[in-house]
Amino acid sequence: MKRAGFAQPWLPMLLLLPQLTIIVIFFYWPALEAVRSSFYLEDPFGFGSSFVGLENYQILLESREYRRVALFTLFFTLCVTFFSLAIALLLAVKADKVLRGATSYKTLLMWVYAIAPPVAGLMGAMLVNHSNGMITHLFGAAGYEFRNGLNYSDTAFTMILVAIWKQIPVNFIFFLSGLQSIPVSLREAAKIDNKSGTSRFWTITFPLLAPTGFFLLITNITYALFDTFGIIDVVIKGEPGNNPLTLVYKVYVDGFRGNDLGGSSAQSVVLMVLVLALTVFQFRLIEKRIHYT
Amino acid sequence: MANVSVKDVEKIYPNGFHAIKGANLEIEPGEFIVLVGPSGCGKSTLLRTIAGLEEASSGEISIGDRVVNDIDPADRNIAMVFQNYALYPHMTVYKNMAYGLKNRKLPNDQIDTQVQKAALMLGLSEHLDRKPSQLSGGQRQRVAMGRAIVRSPDLFLFDEPLSNLDAKLRSQMRIEIRKLQRELGVTSIYVTHDQVEAMTMADRIVVLNGGKIEQIGTPAEIYNSPASVFVASFMGAPPMNLMDAVADGNSIALPGGALPLNHEVHGPVTIGIRPEKAVITDQANGATLPFTHDFTEELGAIRLVHGHLGDTPFVVHRHDDAPLPDGPLFVSVAGENVNVFDQATGQKR
Amino acid sequence: MTKTETNRGQSAPRKRRFKLEHLLDHSILILGSLFMLVPVYLIIATSSFDRITVARKGLQYTFSDQMAENFHMAMFESTSFTGTVDGFTMLMNSLILGMGFAIGKIAISMMAAYAIVYFRLRFATFAFWLIFTTLLLPLEVRILPTYEIVQGLGMINTYSGLIIPLIASATGTFFFRQFFRSVPEELVEAARIDGAGPVKFFIDILVPLSKTMIAAIFIIMFVVGWNQYLWPTLITTDEGLFTLVRGIKQIMLVIADNNKIPEFGVAMALAIIAMLPPVLIVLFFQSWFVKGLVESDK
């Protein structure tokens, strides 16, 4: 609030109205609806629903398949987050360092941001095509028969590879802007204090990038959980079958294909709790240590 | 303690900017040298070249008789205090000071002794566990000093270290830095754009302009006999009164009269007179000029009398409280107080 | 103690070490750039081939002569991937989604942020938290109930059903709130002394001040809107409303169907058309894009 704010009573309400209407109808209502229907069992033939309490959750937690999906989601998220952050950090450090061609490298490394996930998935699918994909050939040359869509871990590999590729630009941009916000004099002071560039990176630059890093960690986990839907859908060609799936994809499959409204809703609620936990964690971290001013 | 020698150093940036044009400078062990000049004059570049943060395009820099051109900044055994202090925000005061020593692989107990000693010297002992963000501006400044001191360097480099402090703290730190430097006896190079800092702190001042060294000398030399119009106008507040005139042997013709000279000069010149070297009288004679009074600035201890000689603005210091005499006023200046510069080159004649 | 460790490292040939290091840095950057670039290059090259070649040999490194033809088919003929819709219609739909999403989001979030920051409003804090909470849950989490509500409102297969639910998050509001708070306090005081009311102040001062911010956010939002996939897939079953990115699903379904040879060249052309506008915008407005991304996400 500004000190000298306006005092009109109706205008601000009018200004808030569109935003509030939209979020109430398309956010709060569906979110509550998800919570509500997670306690109900939908009749498969559409004859109403009955209250079942926590049964949907119980079924969910006892389901071996759900646990398998959750485990894969964890693995997928860890891989995507770790590799896309690590690669982007390496590239950002180098792009920050070179003098010649820095702008061109920046452009070349960030433009993939604009490509839609399913388009990236389509490229991946073409590259791992069973009969003539280039990556398939590469594996073939190494004596391994790569079978995307048939072999569980091969499909997982494709999904992870594409998801990393798609996320590198965002991480790169943030790391680079983080690096560039480190004052020049600080780096120079470090140069006088420490001869080794590697040691300087780990003792000065890296800790100073921590705020950016933690922010990106959360962003990347969120990305891997939610924004990879398009990649996964295209890589597995819309066929869940025995393919690796993430939790979000399973919500979609059970809800829209399996018509298991209660189960899908329970899964939604689990995801909501997960995201909330992640956010709380994020705020805790921000509060606790990681900003220097 | 080490001597520093800068020989024919040039710095040309890849974009063609010629930042330093042939700098030569010999610094005695233990000397406190201030590089002063307007922004963009190359003073910081020269300092950073000596530090090794910039590479000289040509020329030679030695610290303690060792040519350091190809030596890493960390191996030059120097310490630098930066304008914004450049403290590591994620480290405590203690770690900030210890960082350079750790990287030299000093044993921990020796590091501790040195850090504690420096902290004591600077009154930081109670703040060693704090992060820089928890300190005041003056305290941060001290930490930056401490970080420099603990290394027992051959050479201190200061890059406008006081410009982020308020006026009171600045004059206090000025004295403290100078005191510390005398105690430790470490050769120091100090960059500033503030001529008061330069005058008060330096053993010798180096005045730079447009990448060139204009003059090297003690504060008194620089003040009393500036080598060029630039030095004359840059050093001193209020600045030296400057005006164009024609010299005719032993005197200078000016509107309404003439001023004496103590040496023979001919032709078009620029003359410079310090405000405190001029005297206002109501008695005209052969060596006075008619002065038109505009207004007087009261500064407490002294007064600045603003007016003009002919069309040229002219300022005179007055130390006595007596009011200005009534009637027509005149300015008289002794011959040895008239600085004469060549009008074309700006150099002293 | 000054001279003890000063003499080591003297032998280091500084210049040569620099050269080697530079070479390594550039190699890493070039490898990274190639990693990002090559897949797209392959798609572009492949779009110049006929379907038989691609079906037999996969993605191509070189260029052939079918590019114009493939792009023409992709743009103006109903392809083998869809029933009646052509690429041009999908391009228009993508534009509508991208622009509608970006403009809608900026408009409602600027208004809301203005109300929260500049008015003495009793429930401003409550409104802020109500809006802010939406940052926590992405659409994907509540996709099924949202779908049912939109269906219940009869908004399936409409542009509004496509766009409005996507706008129901607070990223924009949060960002403009931050920005408005950074605007100097004196500005509103000066404006009030000059006799400007809240509407005048908003239009004459705040909006012009926010211009670069708006541009930056617009670019990000346009790209995000354009690239939507899951929601359009659910909400548009009528081909006339397909976006290009939504169309990728149809391509994928045809490729997955092993009974016929898909028009690979046309598929690649469609994929290129689908990525071209956002890529061009990001490339042309790079500095705004970076600003928008870095500042809106933080």
Which helix H or strand E contains B345, and what residues bound it? none
Whether the CB of C165 is below 8 Å from some CB of chain A: the reply is: yes
The set of chains that have 3 or more CB pairs under 8 A with A is B, C
DSSP letter (8 states) at residue B312: E
3-state secondary structure string across chain A = CCCCCECCCHHHHHHHHHHHHHHHHHHHHHHHHHHHHCCEEECCCCCCEEECCCHHHHHHHHCHHHHHHHHHHHHHHHHHHHHHHHHHHHHHHHHHHCCCCHHHHHHHHHHHHHCCHHHHHHHHHHHCCCCCCHHHHHHHHCCCCCCCCCCHHHHHHHHHHHHHHHHHHHHHHHHHHHHHCCCHHHHHHHHHHCCCHHHHHHHHHHHHHHHHHHHHHHHHHHHHHHHCHHHHHHHCCCCCCCCCCCHHHHHHHHHHHCCCHHHHHHHHHHHHHHHHHHHHHHHHHHHHCCCCC
pLDDT for residue A85: 97
Q: Which of A25, A45, A119, B101 is nearest to C228 (CA)?
A: A119
From chain A, pick out residues whose CB is under 8 angstroms from the CB of B147.
189, 193
From chain C, pick out residues whose CB is under 8 angstroms from the CB of A133.
58-59
Mutate to test the interface with B, among C6, C16, C18, C21 (most CBs of B within 10 A): C6
Whether the CB of A35 is below 8 Å from some CB of chain C: the reply is: no
Nearest CA in chain A to C287: A107
Check whether C295 has a pLDDT greater than 80: no
Check whether C12 has a pLDDT greater than 50: no
Q: Which residues of B touch C (CB under 8 A)?
A: 1-2, 64, 66, 70-72, 74-77, 104, 152-154
Query: What is the nearest CA distance from A193 to chain B, expressed in angstroms?
Result: 4
Check whether A293 has a pLDDT greater than 60: no
Whether the CB of C164 is below 8 Å from some CB of chain A: the reply is: yes
Q: Could you tell me if A40 and A260 are in contact, meaning their C-beta atoms sit under 8 angstroms apart?
A: no
- Write out residues in chain B with pLDDT < 70, as ranges: none
Closest partner CB to C119 (pick from A5, A252, A275): A5
pLDDT for residue A289: 56
pLDDT for residue B18: 92
Check whether C199 has a pLDDT greater than 60: yes
Instruction: Calculate mean pLDDT across residues A181-198.
Output: 91
Query: What is the nearest CA distance from A284 to chain B, expressed in angstroms?
Result: 18
For B331, the 3-state DSSP assignment is strand
pLDDT for residue C8: 37
Q: CA-to-CA distance for C291 and B332, rounded, in angstroms?
A: 63
Check whether C6 has a pLDDT greater than 50: no
Do C58 and A239 make contact, defined as CB atoms within 8 angstroms?
Answer: no
Whether the CB of A153 is below 8 Å from some CB of chain B: the reply is: no
From chain B, pick out residues whose CB is under 8 angstroms from the CB of A201.
none
Do C2 and B76 make contact, defined as CB atoms within 8 angstroms?
Answer: no
Second CATH level (architecture) for the domain A64-289: Orthogonal Bundle (1.10)
Whether the CB of C29 is below 8 Å from some CB of chain A: the reply is: yes
Check whether C5 has a pLDDT greater than 60: no
Q: CA-to-CA distance for C56 and C272, rounded, in angstroms?
A: 21
Confidence label for A225 from pLDDT (cuts 50, 70 and 90)? very high
- Is the reported ipTM for this assembly greater than 0.85? yes
Angle, in degrees to the nearest 10, between helices A152-180 and A64-97 = 40
Residue B183: C-alpha distances to residues B186, B217, B229, C106 (Å): 8, 23, 36, 63
Confidence label for A288 from pLDDT (cuts 50, 70 and 90)? low
Do B75 and C2 make contact, defined as CB atoms within 8 angstroms?
Answer: no
For B258, the 3-state DSSP assignment is strand
The tens digit of pLDDT for each residue in C230-278 reads 999 999 988 889 999 998 888 888 887 777 778 888 889 999 999 999 9
Check whether A77 has a pLDDT greater than 80: yes
User: Residue ranges per domain, chain A?
Assistant: 64-289
The tens digit of pLDDT for each residue in A11-31 reads 888 999 999 999 999 999 998
Check whether A292 has a pLDDT greater than 80: no
From chain B, pick out residues whose CB is under 8 angstroms from the CB of C19.
none
Whether the CB of C256 is below 8 Å from some CB of chain A: the reply is: yes
Nearest CA in chain A to B78: A192
Domains in chain B, ordered, with CATH?
4-234 (3.40.50.300), 241-342 (2.40.50.140)
Any residues with CB less than 8 A from the CB of C169 and at least 6 apart, and which? A23, A27, C134, C135, C138, C139
One-letter identity of residue B84 = N
Tell me: cis bond preceding B238? Omega within 30 of 0 counts.
yes
- Within B50-203, strands assigned E span 58-63, 66-67, 78-81, 155-159, 187-192
Closest partner CB to A292 (pick from B78, B84, B133): B133
Write the CATH number of the domain with boundaries C97-242+276-294.
1.10.3720.10
Q: Could you tell me if B139 and B127 are in contact, meaning their C-beta atoms sit under 8 angstroms apart?
A: yes
Check whether C95 has a pLDDT greater than 90: yes
Closest partner CB to C36 (pick from A1, A22, A112): A112
Q: CA-to-CA distance for B273 and B287, rounded, in angstroms?
A: 14
Do B77 and C15 make contact, defined as CB atoms within 8 angstroms?
Answer: no
pLDDT for residue B31: 95
pLDDT for residue A2: 64
Query: What is the nearest CA distance from C22 to chain B, expressed in angstroms?
Result: 16
The tens digit of pLDDT for each residue in C131-169 reads 888 877 788 888 888 998 999 999 999 999 999 999 988
Do A185 and B100 make contact, defined as CB atoms within 8 angstroms?
Answer: no
Query: What is the nearest CA distance from A271 to chain C, expressed in angstroms?
Result: 6
Confidence label for C222 from pLDDT (cuts 50, 70 and 90)? very high
Mutate to test the interface with B, among A193, A199, A203, A214 (most CBs of B within 10 A): A193
For B61, the 3-state DSSP assignment is strand
Q: Could you tell me if B332 and B281 are in contact, meaning their C-beta atoms sit under 8 angstroms apart?
A: yes
The set of chains that have 3 or more CB pairs under 8 A with B is A, C
Whether the CB of C16 is below 8 Å from some CB of chain B: the reply is: no
pLDDT for residue B253: 83
Q: CA-to-CA distance for A230 and A253, rounded, in angstroms?
A: 13
- pLDDT above 90 as % of chain B: 59
Check whether A131 has a pLDDT greater than 90: no
Q: Could you tell me if C163 and C202 are in contact, meaning their C-beta atoms sit under 8 angstroms apart?
A: no
pLDDT for residue C154: 92
pLDDT for residue B63: 94
